[in-house]
Amino acid sequence: MVKKVLVFGDIGIDDTVALIYGYFDDAIDIVGVVANYGNIPREKALANVNYVRELFDIDPSIEVILGAEKPMTGENPKFVPEIHGEYGLGPIEPPLLNEEGVVENFFEVVEIINRYQDQELVIVNIGRLTSLATMFILYPSVMENVRHIYMMGGAFWVPGNATPLSEANFHGDPIAAQLVLNNAPDVTIIPLNVTQQAMATPEMVDYINRVGLAKIIKPLLDYYYQFYKQRNPRIQGSPLHDVVTLMATIDEDMFMFRYLPVEIIQGVNGVERGQSIADIRPYVDQQESENGAEKSHRIALELDYRKFYNKFMSIMTGQVFH
């Protein structure tokens, strides 16, 4: 059965590659995108979704909804053009397809969830969690119709990327991240532990560019790779954080999971802000938490890179990799 997916994202480079991947994978049907602040302001995130839709002539019935403008902390967000480019598309400046200004249409999210409630709709959150948390605050009964939530976020016993301890999506709005974990019954967390392994090498990008179906991938990932390489000259490629999160909706066998309670450190500016803590002390009754006695979440802690590579390259080139 085709997986109906509602995406919440901050539509930078890896978000955009995830949308393109979802478009090419016939097992995934992205039925809507909520465009939030995060890597870039929400207006640019929305323009990027429309740009991708135009580029691939995607069915205009896919809703694009304007999401949160700032985090629940009330701060003004800091954007990261050095990673994702001024417009979130690396070197590309998309036409702002909304000359008439951008419609604030967030209630569409309720309509989409109700429309697909009998089709096992899943939500894939690949940005800050502010808009998704708002859904649990305003529409808790509607959210009972969502089959599962996959979120890109967190870093468990590995270095963060926003600070030495915390990952950017959880760091950007730690209040929202904890609120979603406290309220969502079925969550899969795809943290840096696995997304840092989901590398697109320059060779992969050049091959996709030669034989693939999307010429935008190369400029996007070349720009993304330059950022990572100047920070770590030994890095082999760029981490497709959001792509591997979307892939998890279909290819669960790429991961090793554990079920653990998760606490997200709050706080304003400390290095620990947004840090994700899971309790794996051996004397704690893991069996109890694995059985969900305490609210536990499924966390992907290992990735089978060969499976990731084969699936990603197959979908992005239309050829068979195995």
Contact with ligand BDR (CB under 6 A) among 5, 15, 149, 176: 15
3-state secondary structure of 189: strand
Buried b (16+ CB within 10 A) or exposed e, 4-26: bbbbbbbbbbbbbbbbbbbbbbe
Q: Which residue has the tokens 């809703």?
A: 63
Asked if residue 126 binds ligand BDR (CB under 6 A), the reply is: yes
E strand or H helix that includes residue 183: helix 174-183
Asked if residue 163 binds ligand BDR (CB under 6 A), the reply is: no
Contact 148, 125 (CB under 8 A): no
Asked if residue 167 binds Ca ion (CB under 5 A), the reply is: no
Q: Which residues in 226-285 contact ligand BDR (CB under 6 A)?
A: 241-242
Asked if residue 15 binds Ca ion (CB under 5 A), the reply is: yes
For β-strands 199-200 and 238-239, DSSP reports them as antiparallel
For ligand BDR, what does the binding mask look like between residues 31 and 60, x meaning CB under 6 A? --------x---------------------
Distance CA 87, CA 114 (A): 32
Please state the closest distance from residue 317 (CB atom) to ligand BDR, in A. 23
- Binding partner of residue 209 among Ca ion, ligand BDR, none, CB under 5 to 8 Å per kind? none
Contact 283, 289 (CB under 8 A): no
Asked if residue 126 binds Ca ion (CB under 5 A), the reply is: yes
Asked if residue 172 binds Ca ion (CB under 5 A), the reply is: no
Please state the closest distance from residue 10 (CB atom) to Ca ion, in A. 5
CB-CB neighbours of 301 under 10 Å? 18
CB-CB neighbours of 203 under 10 Å? 10
Contact with ligand BDR (CB under 6 A) among 166, 169, 193, 238: 169
Asked if residue 173 binds ligand BDR (CB under 6 A), the reply is: no
Query: Given the rule CB under 5 A, which residues bind Ca ion?
Result: 10, 15, 126-127, 242
